Structure 1
Amino acid sequence: MTTPRTLTAPLDALVIGGGAAGLAGAITLARSRRSVLVVDGGAPRNAPADGVHALLALDGIAPADLVARGREEVARYGGDVVTAEVSDAAIEGDGFAVTLGDGTVVRARRLLVATGAVDVLPEIPGLAEHWGRSVVHCPYCHGWEVRDQPIGVIASHPMFTHQALLFRQLSSDVVVFTHGVDPTPEQRAQLLARGIGLVEDGVSAIRAEAGAVTGVELADGRVVPRSVLTVQSVLRPRIESLTGLGLTVAENPMGTFVPTTDIGGRSEVPGVWLAGNVTEPAAQVGASAAAGTMAGAQINADLVMAETAAAVAAM
């Protein structure tokens, strides 16, 4: 694996983030014979999960194995991947200068930002420790694995009803626990109609044994047995080190602010594309990979047109 210090600048493309979106974009660029480097901090959002589900032909693959395969494929086509943090990114002429944590500066003509997002959970004792295992958020990622179990829904986000109804498809034993969000009359009617329980006594802690959730402790000390909990996290896009790019952000329906793009991933900053959870919080692994592939193709096409225009001007 090559380090950034040995690469000849500028690269055709620098990919920031080496999850499904970033690696898929890098493979597309490398297969188009572009010089491409992936810089990844090594902290994928889905690391706590046992497996990636609803991913065609790879259902159940461990997140680390998926990343390892993706890195091998990038290398197969001549791309490079390094494990490093990005500390700063800036526009430099008609390209970009990205500073890594060790001070190395990597220059590139185009950027693909696929840094993902961080799940911000309600501050309930015992909740975060089981995130990705017996505390889940996505019925399509984890639902089959928790089917028919007693499921508890923590109502800490206005979208809790959406989660409750989707998990009700997977289990007949679903109970909503209010935690900062009170159901509207319409939501109460929906829960009642679908046979979903409602507990409004307040959540004080999550009970667990042998590394797995066993129940929800209420404010009065009572414990309601549950083996699975679901909660809507608030996703914070990982863009703190990219402020120098001047990305435009807007509120997402899921209640967070994310960088805006067009349908192909192009941002409002010329030369910068985004893909995956950094701009689409609801995207699963397959959708993130597809977005990365699309962004990689768009970047290559943009470079082709720029190179063609330069060649015509030089005639």
Structure 2
Amino acid sequence: MSEIFKRDPVDVVVVGGGLSGLGAALTLVRARRSVVVIDAGNPRNAPAAHSHGYLTRDGAPPLELLRLGREEIRGYGGEIVSGAVESVARAGERLFRVTTAEGDRYAGRRLLITTGLVDVFPDIPGLHERWGNDVVHCPFCFGWELRDQALGVLATGPQATMQALMWRQWSSDVTLFLHTAPEPTDEQRQQLAARGVRVVGGEVTRVEVEDNKITGVRLSHGEVVPRQAIIVGPQFQARHRLLDGLGVEVVDHPMGIGRQVKAEPSGFTGVPGVWVAGNVADVTAGVMQSAASGVTAAATLNADLTQEDVALAVESMRTAASAGL
């Protein structure tokens, strides 16, 4: 018995409706490819009030960028579906089956996964609640808005010294909290001192918040160091679960800051028919890089589909000729 799908098979099913997924979908629908985007509706940057560094849209709310993108795709005939994808699998020689939590099934000739990543950072009271507001990680995303404020860099790994030195570009008042990280080397302490970065030892036990804003960092011995914003270097873990059964490879990021799906610059995973884009393939990608990676993946997806279209057409023509039609 043949499978029952929610709609006719499409050229590409895109799982994830962030900027990379929408960037890919827009490129594909303009190439007259049939596309379904399935989006769970929980973008990583939803807590942030504004998105920065996106040319011509600097300062736009992240959810507004997504709304505009969805409108553009629908305008070309693309379909956007709300739902959480539970599984993906092959469904015959030339199709993938994508199943949502509601039990709906979609079929596509190609699969593009743009499910993003999860930020993993210390379990310190007050930290998670302020994430994306005055607890941040990216200086290029938030540095201008936090310029000249009293900043605290929470050490979470070997990159902490470099983080503190980089954030010194945006403020002359930067404190590095060692927390549970190793002591800086003598050379690192000299660099920090030369740039006027204070180093504070002791475990951080709480981020103090009053009137919906950070006021300081509490240490294990009770001292509270006044701060206005906290910089943390999380581990970035790509959301790769859906791909695990398809044979893709997950690798450590070269900087040791997380794990991501191994893929070519085009987003091709090496598994026939399977592409990735955005943070699932590059945990350091910002909003513009993510959108651009979706466009790149779409172009190579289209080329791959074109080759298959031509091969099928030639096969059909030869079959017809041999039958004397």
- TM-score computed with the length of structure 1 as normaliser: 0.96
- Identical counterparts, % of pairs: 47
Deviation readout 1:117-138 (Å, 9 max, x if unpaired):
1111111111111000010100
Partner of residue 261 from structure 1, selected from 233, 246, 263: 263
Superposition pairs for residues 229-244 of structure 1, below 5 Å? Answer: 229-244=230-245
Q: Distance in 1 between matches of 2:142 and 2:15?
A: 27
Structure 2, unaligned runs of 5 or more: 318-325
Moved more, 186-195 or 165-174: 186-195
8 Å CA contact retained: 1:45, 1:116: yes
Alignment: residue pair count: 311
Tell me the equivalent position of 1:127: 127
Q: Distance in 2 between matches of 1:246 and 1:211?
A: 45
Q: Which amino acid aligns with 2:200?
A: V
Q: Distance in 2 between matches of 1:83 and 1:133?
A: 27
RMSD over aligned CA atoms reads 1.3
Tell me the equivalent position of 1:162: 162
Shift, 1:5, TM fit: 5.8
Shift, 1:314, TM fit: 2.9
Q: Which amino acid aligns with 1:33?
A: R
Q: Structure 1 186/95 Cα, relative in aligned 2: closer, same or farther at 3 Å?
A: farther
Q: Distance in 2 between matches of 1:76 and 1:245?
A: 33
Q: Distance in 2 between matches of 1:150 and 1:245?
A: 47
Structure 1, unaligned runs of 5 or more: none
Q: Does 1:98 align with 2:133?
A: no
Q: Distance in 1 between matches of 2:156 and 2:22?
A: 33
Shift, 1:49, TM fit: 0.5
Q: Does 1:149 align with 2:153?
A: no
1:220 counterpart SS class: coil
Q: Which has the larger radius of gyration?
A: 2
8 Å CA contact retained: 1:36, 1:79: yes
Tell me the equivalent position of 1:78: 77
Tell me the equivalent position of 2:18: 19
- TM-score computed with the length of structure 2 as normaliser: 0.93
Q: Which amino acid aligns with 1:240?
A: R
Q: Does 1:50 align with 2:52?
A: no
Partner of residue 283 from structure 1, selected from 282, 285, 303: 285
Tell me the equivalent position of 2:175: 175
Tell me the equivalent position of 2:217: 216
8 Å CA contact retained: 1:96, 1:110: yes
8 Å CA contact retained: 2:6, 2:106: no
Q: Distance in 1 between matches of 2:187 and 2:95?
A: 52
1:261 counterpart SS class: coil
8 Å CA contact retained: 1:89, 1:243: no
Segments of 4+ in structure 1 off by > 3 A?
none
Q: Distance in 1 between matches of 2:32 and 2:136?
A: 40
Moved more, 45-54 or 153-162: 153-162
Shift, 1:28, TM fit: 0.5
Deviation readout 1:185-213 (Å, 9 max, x if unpaired):
33222212211110012211110101111
